[in-house]
Amino acid sequence: MGADKSCLAGVRVLDLSQFEAGPSCTEALAWLGAEVVKVENPRGGDQGRGISLGNIEGTDSHYFLMLNANKKSLAVNLKAAEGVALVKRLAQSADVFVENFAPGAIERLGLDYPSIRAVNPGIVYAQVKGFGEGSPYAGNLAFDMIAQACGGVMSVTGMPDGPPVKPGPTFGDTGTGMLLAISILGALYRRRETGEGQLLQVAMQDAMLHYMRIAFATQAKNGYTPARRAGAASVSGQNAPCGIYPCRPGGPNDYVYIYTSRGNPEHWRRLLAVIGREDLVDDPRFATGLARSQHAAELDAIIGEWTRGRDKHEAMRVIGAAGVPAGAVLDTLELHDDPSFEQRRIMQVMRHPVAGGVKMPAWPVRHDGAPPQVQPAPLLGEHTADVLARWLDLPPPEFGALEASGVVGTKQHARTR
């Protein structure tokens, strides 16, 4: 067992979350070695199991697999009072409890913080909501894109003269899950000393502000006018040249990002050398950072002329090697196929008993040289018997009765699609 896996060895997480914001949080804990037990409905389980199910029949979605690696699954019917009672018993031996149900649902189940705290005062109880308690929208439903709209993200994404744009990655979900994971880990650290639990709550809208701080700083600098969309440039200010430049052969992602910092004029001079335009070094239109900003369109034309003659990989290689920040716009297939990620274990293959081998991004932080090992996401109910036996020391007859009455489901009995 590597250093990575044992970071949270012995930590028990009772995970009532579904979709992405909650599961991304608990998966990070699982990758660091916590025992994360998903509590799932025996009829279908986490709704994420069925999202965008594609060409593989009888298994879970790739969406689910990627968000639930290294976890366990316990199938229990929360519509039965015995099911709820069972979860409360499990909570007594858990260190962390996580939920991201719609507003009001956890209270209706009787598994809210006061109820859980009553049986385990030392628990770290963590919740993700769309809008915060006390917000006028606390009762509203939220998804990733709602958080990105209401958290300011869309207002600063897109072209200066165009409409707001939604970023493609699910920053609203995973971006929130990561912040909650940090607070859970902080609370666990403290708990080792004090034994005391905590209530942790994060709202997806609020979490977005954390990723928007440069836009807020820019707004403050500009006398409190709203931060504007800046296209490919930085929200915080003008650096020219700086942008997404077209490359050969002109496909949808044949572009290279080139950045020259006003703080380091060497970037500009190095770039001129790379594109063979040293003749412009003394051109007054481009002599200072301010002048370059004022002539950004001319600069973009000059640089685009050079980039159009190269493919993006060559452009990145040549410009990057000259000490100018440059990055090819890579698509998911290029990233998937790049051998460097697999060699460095940033991409790993999940060996799933039904889906087979699924290559996916692993936890990207290397611990003593390597990221944690990806283990398969659980089948629905795969660990019901195991967890009840180990966490509760449940006698076999009692387990048999729960199973017979449908309160719990096992891999064999839970309904898979």
Residues identified as active-site: 173
- Cβ burial 262-279 (10 Å sphere, 16+ → b, else e): beeeebbbbbbebbebee
Q: How far is the CB of 100 from a second copy (least distance, A)?
A: 13
Q: In this structure, are residues 71 and 60 in contact, taking their beta carbons and an 8 Å threshold?
A: no
Listed in sequence order, the DSSP H helices in 55-170 are: 62-67, 81-92, 105-109, 113-119, 144-150
Candidates 72-80, 81-89, 282-290, 343-351; binding stretch for a second copy (CB under 8 A): 343-351
Total residues found in the chain within this entry: 417
CB-neighbour burial class of residue 146 (10 A; exposed 0-12, middle 13-18, buried 19+) = middle
Q: Would you count residue 167 as binding a second copy (CB under 8 A)?
A: yes
Dihedral sign from CA coordinates of 217, 169, 131, 186: negative
Binding mask 113-142 for a second copy (x = CB under 8 A): -------------------xxxxxx--xxx
The least distance separating a second copy from the CB of residue 78, rounded to whole angstroms, comes to 19
Q: Which of residues 186-205 bind a second copy (CB under 8 A)?
A: 186-190, 192, 196, 198-203, 205
Distance in angstroms (rounded) separating the CA atoms of residues 10 and 188? 12
Q: Which residues have a Cβ under 8 Å from the Cβ of 316 and sit 6 or more positions away? A: 256, 326, 327, 328
Selected binder of a second copy within 154, 271, 272, 414 (CB under 8 A)? 154
Q: Which is nearer to a second copy, 205 or 384 (CB)?
A: 205
Residues 274-313 that bind a second copy (CB under 8 A): none
Q: How far is the CB of 46 from a second copy (least distance, A)?
A: 12
Which parts of 395-414 interact with a second copy (CB under 8 A)?
Answer: none
From candidates 119, 236, 351, 415, binder to a second copy by CB under 8 A: 236
Site residues for a second copy, 46-75, by CB under 8 A, read: 47, 50-55, 61-63, 65-67
Contact residue for a second copy among 118, 281, 301, 321 (CB under 8 A)? 321
- Contact status, residue 79 vs residue 85, Cβ threshold 8 Å: no
Region near a second copy per CB under 8 A, out of 77-85, 299-307, 338-346, 400-408: 338-346
What residue has token string 């279908």? Answer: 44
Tokens of 363: 């936890």
Q: Which residues contact 226 (CB under 8 A, 6 or more apart)?
A: 155, 219
Kindly tell me which of 367 and 413 has the beta carbon lying closer to a second copy: 367
Provide, rounded to whole angstroms, the least separation between the CB of residue 322 and a second copy.
Answer: 10
Answer yes or no whether residue 16 interacts with a second copy by CB under 8 A: no
Q: How far is the CB of 231 from a second copy (least distance, A)?
A: 7
C-alpha to C-alpha distance for 285 and 348, rounded to whole angstroms = 49
| 220 in contact with a second copy (CB under 8 A) | yes
Beta-bridge mates of residue 12 = 35
What's the rounded Cα separation, in Å, for the pair 311 and 85?
61
CB of residue 345 to a second copy, shortest distance in Å: 10
Name the token pair of 59: 């298994």
Cα–Cα distance for residue pair 132/138, rounded to 1 Å? 6
Binding flag, residue 250, a second copy (CB under 8 A): no
Of residues 162 and 395, the one with the C-beta less far from a second copy = 162
Is 331 a binder of a second copy (CB under 8 A)?
yes
Residue 175 to residue 210: CA distance in whole angstroms = 9
Minimum Å gap between C-beta 208 and a second copy is 8
Sign of the dihedral defined by the CA atoms of residues 207, 211, 212, 216, in that order = positive
Q: Is 159 in the site for a second copy (CB under 8 A)?
A: yes
Assess 373 for contact with a second copy (CB under 8 A).
Answer: no
Amino acid at residue number 159: M
Return the residue of 166, 248, 269, 295 that touches a second copy, per CB under 8 A.
166
**Binding-site member from 360, 385, 389, 392 for a second copy (CB under 8 A):** 360
Nearer to a second copy, 39 or 319 (CB): 319
**What minimum distance in Å lies between the beta carbon of 379 and a second copy?**
18
- The CA radius of gyration of the chain, in Å to the nearest whole number, is 25
Question: Binding of a second copy at residue 105 (CB under 8 A)?
Answer: no
* Candidate segments 80-88, 166-174, 275-283, 393-401, binder of a second copy by CB under 8 A: 166-174
CA neighbours within 13 Å on the CB side: how many for 289?
Answer: 13
